[in-house]
Structure 1
Amino acid sequence: MTAQWWSQPVAAEGSTASEGIRRQLGKPHLDPLTVLIRETAQNTCDAALPGGGDVEFAVRLHRLSGNRLAGWREFLLPEPAGSALGIAEAMNRGPLLMTLSDRGTTGLGGPLRADESPREGERPDFVNFIRNVGERKAVDLGGGSYGFGKGILYNVSRCHLIVADSVCMFRGRLQRRLIGAALGDGFTHGGRRWTGRHWLGVLEDGHTRPLLDDEAEEMAGKLGLPRFAEGATGTSVAIVDVDLGRRQGQDGDAVRTPEEAADFIVSTMLWNLWPRMLSDRPNRLVCSMRRDGFVNEVPDPEQLIELSPFVKAYRALAEEGRYQVPPRKSEPREIGRFAVVKGMAPLRPNPAVAAAAPFEGRAHHCARMRHADLVVDYFKGETPTDEMIQYGAVFRSSPEADGFFAEAEPPTHDDWVVNGLRGTARGVVQLATGFIRDRLREQSTPAAGPVPSGEAPLASLAGRLSGLMTAEGDLAEGSVRREPSGGGRRSSGGPRFVTAPHLVQENGVPVIFGVVQMPSWASTRVVVAEPVIVLDSGVEPVDGRTDGPVVLGWRSVESDPPVDGAELVIERPSDRTWELRVRPSADAVVRVNLTVRELGGDG
């Protein structure tokens, strides 16, 4: 069937203005791309299928051209009469398309019409996402509330236009649904007033329904939308003519390039979604980012020095004796759990992490979150007096108190605000805020404590070597660029730590151990591990020091023979994953730099 636009007229009794929906988010202090990723990932997590399987959350960014552009032009044009959405102008300039997809989720199920009541056990996800505004989500302990956050999808489109493509289980069978929706400005046309809301689909009974099943699949193919595996459910939302926003840098306020936007999105995923990305949790969130075919790798949060203390504090919430609970005499008695972990601060910013970091420099913050395990914000605490130290804390609300914290959140879910709260809700949120502030204040000075005698030598050494044990995943000189190659990925950059170096004992002797992943170089390279001593004034090479750290050698994870010493020759057939072993210094903080040179070259 031919898709057509249908515009909503203002009803005699009044209607919700389109501009009002777009402005429900107010003026958040967060970057629009950060709000976008937070809101869409939250919807993804709330829609996870039961059973605990992995949930995929993928962002794709590419510029429309050729047959794909022709397909979009045919689908979207002509635009609604009098709407002034600017779709034709966007198609003429070859717009950027951003697609946000999830799999392992329920999809947008339930009735197609907002005036139809869902059946017993049915979630009205389709009408809540496409039609309604302000309906409470039917998800226990979910991250969202009334669905105002979806306005960000329209706000970052210069046309205020999205296309949703979903596969859901509907009344005993799989159903595919594809529909366009726009939130433009209100206008007058043909002697009538219009709300500015528009839907693109099949005209039926005076309204627009989505394209269904075969017709939806055919249109999705023409538009190049992400595919669905056989029997899979989930949703893809395409944002037409996406505005990537502006960045702040040394050259001032400038429009983001697609490459910069991709890096920013990866960083946003790490800082906001890491509790859902941990490998051993149910419904783990598997995030990915592609830009015009290039893969932007999303690192493991547990291997990043910037996030390591937060991850460890989060894990401590499940270990008796490692967390604290704000005391409360009345119900709910347990409003949440708090834990804090100290670690070595990074020596320099990691570009893959810093792009969307919620604070500058080393961590001295508490990641606050509700029971849905999505970060609300990073509550700032006292700065440690030792410049080499950082700490990360986590406060997670209890199931019993989760609803009170939800009441305290603005539409962007990025704060807990007591203004306007009353009774128990106000008391719970105030107690949590004060408790977190007091606990963070205690972290400003180092606390001394006894070490069990049997662990003293290794524990003491571990403390002095913590900078290496929570390594930054150092790259060799140069940046990493990823290019498409046969549908896969090829890295032209340097090696990286995939397992953060940590202290182990081999025959009673302490050894620093880490796993390094090598790129697929086209020619033979030499990788050199160079340990340095970290001082307050900087770093010092180990040359000439008899008590300095020593690289013991490299050991292949696969089949290549082990190599003694600091240098490792990587030929094209060589294994790509190697274990690096370093004998630590007796009394110093150590870092290991990985450098690369051509065989026979100087570096």
Structure 2
Amino acid sequence: MAVNDAAWWSQRVAAEGSTASEGIRRQLGKPQLDPLTVLIREAAQNSCDAALPGDGDVDFNVQIRRLTGNRLANWTKFLLPEPAGSALGIEQALAGESRILTISDRGTTGLGGPLRADEPTRAGERADFVKFIRNVGERKGVDLGGGSYGFGKGILYNVSRCHIVVADSQCVFRGRLQRRLIGAAMGDGYEHGGVRFTGRHWLGVQDGDIAQALIGEEAEKLADQLGLPKFAQGQTGTTVAIVDADLGVTRTKSTEKPRTPEDAAEYLASTILWNLWPRMIEGAHNRLRCSVKFEGFAVDIPAPESTIELKPFVDAYRKLSRPNEYEVPVRKKAPTEVGRFAKVESMAPLKPHALLSKAAPFEGGARHCARMRQADLVVNYVQGEPHPDEAIQYAGVFRSSVDADGYFADAEPPTHDDWVTNGLHGVALGVVQLAARFVRTNMTVAPPEIDSSAQHDAALAPLAGRLSGLVSGTKGDGAELRRGGAGRRSRHGGSGRSSANPKIIEGPALRQESGQAVIVAKVQFPTWPTKKSVVANPVVVIEGGVEPPGVLEPPTVLRWECTETGEVRSGSRVALLRNDKRIWEVTVLPPGDAVIRLGVTVESDD
């Protein structure tokens, strides 16, 4: 069919009453989250709920494109004329710099089931098309899914300045592959020609008293003319195109300006990382493979576990599936396990990540717990107490149990960004309150116990948050690397050997040098009677021990520098005469993903 063969059908207000279109759009209220964040959360939740059976990946792709030339002409022919009296403003939307924001998934079931809301489903069939396109307030019927009643889809229409979306889907319907395409609008209610209308409209082919989706070859041809993402042979999934998308604004402390397509694409990539990371990591069930493009240019989206900001959350999440590495709130009555909690410490980032900072839910290093349900999509980040060491961040994860997941779902607003106890009763109220108290109690950090005579740990550089056991290594003639005032315990008895050993008196700390992160520690040497050479020996630490040589890139000792004279000696070795100054700073360049343990060898040169 030609692009101008489709026509709008507008819903009249029924004699017994109807749901107003603007009421559906406003179900979300006025969330604190940015509309683009709400959009991504809702769309990704729909994609995850529609994942094909099995462990296959789901492709989740977002594109922003300006309509020009033939593409603009085809969209104009498809959407116009708008419904009489509707005031959707389609012509004005297409006259300016109109942009289409498309969200597509592949590796999902697509919008299957009957095309009409009054047609019953068959055994084992899901009414996905009807629930997404026509109905509101009906349970999705997905076990342990992220959604509930489908109110959140209003965000798709809210992001469109003219409140119009176009859905293009390929599904298996009663044993056969079927392509489906339909437009839908949620404007404001109005009166025209003496008739009241709800503000809901559908754009398709006339089928009795409703507008029906285009199907088969007609749908495929029209999708190509509109420039919508293609489907591979036999592939299923859905594309939703948001017409004349409002990209929002970029805010600073003193300014506010409209987002450019590039700004919006970077923000979308950032919010994808913060909200979808549990479904993006290696080994995730139906792992999300996400991409964002603007005008054909792709935004580079790093793996969540490769970033300092998200790695402690990933590590805490992985602990939830390992015995004896997580905690469970105590509850005597069913459900006895309401969820699992784990927490991980790591070094805080040196500076904001260029991409992650665009949509970061908090400033600075983490002291937050990511809460989520079985769908493995972040609900929100709950702030804990500050860490006493500003160089350290800590991240927690709380994930509801299978048995309690429904109670937490009932506590979520349409934006799925909190667990609200208002309106809950009985078991549901008790479960949600217990989880909130447990997280609040455990998002604290005990101050470190300092024993000046004890051996001190010197973990120097977790640039990707991989903290492990902190035990300093020593060799040579018995030198120990100590920190603070570690010295002789008493003049009689105890350990008096430490007076002849080096000790850390400041640091270790991260520092930026020429765009690189380095670790520095200030070391004080005793006054030896003869010449000694001190060799710094940094090694990479992993859980359970030291990384064997040759497996990872080794750390490099750049230099020793005397703090009093400024004298610099390159490399790992510094030779000291009796009269040399005794306080030196060692600088180490760590590999990109490592925790460093520093040991020293003290050698006699005579």
TM-score (norm: length of structure 2): 0.79
Distance in 2 (CA, whole Å) between partners of 1:353 and 1:507 is 30
Q: Is residue 2:598 matched to residue 1:586?
A: yes
Q: Is residue 2:391 matched to residue 1:395?
A: no
User: Cα deviations across residues 449-479 of structure 1 (Å, max 9, x unaligned)?
Assistant: 9xxxxxx99xx45x2222476599x99969x
The gaps in structure 2 that reach 5 residues or longer are: 468-509, 517-538, 561-567, 575-584, 601-606
Task: Give the deviation of 1:218 after TM superposition.
Answer: 0.4
1:558-569 matches, within 5 Å, as: none
* 1:199 match: secondary structure: strand
Calculate percent identity across the aligned residue pairs.
59
Whichever residue aligns with residue 142 of structure 1, its letter is: G
The answer on whether the counterparts of 2:346 and 2:465 sit within 8 Å (CA) in structure 1 is no
- The aligned counterpart of 1:559 is none
- The aligned counterpart of 1:445 is 447
Summarize the Cα distance change of 1:430–1:91 in structure 2 as closer, same or farther, 3 Å threshold: same
Summarize the Cα distance change of 1:532–1:11 in structure 2 as closer, same or farther, 3 Å threshold: farther
* 2:417 match: secondary structure: coil
Q: Match for 1:513 among 553, 565, 585?
A: 553
| Segment drifting more, 186-195 vs 504-513 | 504-513
Q: Is residue 2:17 matched to residue 1:14?
A: yes
- The aligned counterpart of 1:548 is 586
Task: Give the deviation of 1:586 after TM superposition.
Answer: 2.8
Q: Is residue 2:364 matched to residue 1:361?
A: yes
- RMSD over aligned CA atoms reads 3.1
1:17-416 matches, within 5 Å, as: 17-416=20-419
The answer on whether the counterparts of 1:25 and 1:411 sit within 8 Å (CA) in structure 2 is yes
User: Cα deviations across residues 111-138 of structure 1 (Å, max 9, x unaligned)?
Assistant: 0000111110100000000000000011
Whichever residue aligns with residue 194 of structure 2, its letter is: G
The answer on whether the counterparts of 1:503 and 1:510 sit within 8 Å (CA) in structure 2 is no
Distance in 1 (CA, whole Å) between partners of 2:569 and 2:408 is 52
Task: Give the deviation of 1:294 after TM superposition.
Answer: 0.6
The answer on whether the counterparts of 2:466 and 2:593 sit within 8 Å (CA) in structure 1 is no
Distance in 2 (CA, whole Å) between partners of 1:77 and 1:170 is 30
Whichever residue aligns with residue 3 of structure 1, its letter is: A
* 2:308 match: secondary structure: coil
Summarize the Cα distance change of 1:79–1:294 in structure 2 as closer, same or farther, 3 Å threshold: same
The answer on whether the counterparts of 2:312 and 2:465 sit within 8 Å (CA) in structure 1 is no
Task: Give the deviation of 1:175 after TM superposition.
Answer: 0.5
- The aligned counterpart of 2:497 is none
* 1:464 match: secondary structure: coil
Distance in 2 (CA, whole Å) between partners of 1:237 and 1:507 is 48
Summarize the Cα distance change of 1:446–1:44 in structure 2 as closer, same or farther, 3 Å threshold: farther
1:477-488 matches, within 5 Å, as: none
Distance in 2 (CA, whole Å) between partners of 1:177 and 1:549 is 62
The answer on whether the counterparts of 1:511 and 1:582 sit within 8 Å (CA) in structure 2 is no
- The aligned counterpart of 2:460 is 464
Task: Give the deviation of 1:299 after TM superposition.
Answer: 0.7
User: Cα deviations across residues 208-231 of structure 1 (Å, max 9, x unaligned)?
Assistant: 110101000000000000000000
Q: Is residue 2:423 matched to residue 1:420?
A: yes
Summarize the Cα distance change of 1:468–1:82 in structure 2 as closer, same or farther, 3 Å threshold: closer
Whichever residue aligns with residue 194 of structure 1, its letter is: F
Whichever residue aligns with residue 401 of structure 1, its letter is: A
Summarize the Cα distance change of 1:215–1:513 in structure 2 as closer, same or farther, 3 Å threshold: same
The answer on whether the counterparts of 1:512 and 1:581 sit within 8 Å (CA) in structure 2 is no
Distance in 2 (CA, whole Å) between partners of 1:148 and 1:586 is 55
* 2:267 match: secondary structure: helix
Distance in 2 (CA, whole Å) between partners of 1:364 and 1:119 is 49
The answer on whether the counterparts of 2:102 and 2:241 sit within 8 Å (CA) in structure 1 is yes
The answer on whether the counterparts of 1:64 and 1:96 sit within 8 Å (CA) in structure 2 is yes
Whichever residue aligns with residue 401 of structure 2, its letter is: S
User: Cα deviations across residues 413-452 of structure 1 (Å, max 9, x unaligned)?
Assistant: 00001111100000000000001111112x2534789xxx
Distance in 1 (CA, whole Å) between partners of 2:296 and 2:559 is 38
* 1:548 match: secondary structure: strand
TM-score (norm: length of structure 1): 0.79
Task: Give the deviation of 1:68 after TM superposition.
Answer: 0.7
Distance in 2 (CA, whole Å) between partners of 1:448 and 1:368 is 33
- The aligned counterpart of 2:532 is none
Distance in 2 (CA, whole Å) between partners of 1:530 and 1:64 is 55
- The aligned counterpart of 1:495 is none
The answer on whether the counterparts of 1:10 and 1:193 sit within 8 Å (CA) in structure 2 is yes
Distance in 2 (CA, whole Å) between partners of 1:351 and 1:370 is 29
Task: Give the deviation of 1:165 after TM superposition.
Answer: 0.0
* 2:168 match: secondary structure: strand
Distance in 1 (CA, whole Å) between partners of 2:22 and 2:131 is 18
Whichever residue aligns with residue 553 of structure 2, its letter is: F
The answer on whether the counterparts of 1:56 and 1:102 sit within 8 Å (CA) in structure 2 is yes
Distance in 2 (CA, whole Å) between partners of 1:183 and 1:76 is 14
Summarize the Cα distance change of 1:581–1:252 in structure 2 as closer, same or farther, 3 Å threshold: closer
The gaps in structure 1 that reach 5 residues or longer are: 450-455, 479-500, 516-528, 534-540, 553-578, 589-603
Task: Give the deviation of 1:548 after TM superposition.
Answer: 3.4
Distance in 2 (CA, whole Å) between partners of 1:191 and 1:507 is 79
The answer on whether the counterparts of 1:511 and 1:583 sit within 8 Å (CA) in structure 2 is no
Summarize the Cα distance change of 1:140–1:387 in structure 2 as closer, same or farther, 3 Å threshold: same
- The aligned counterpart of 1:498 is none
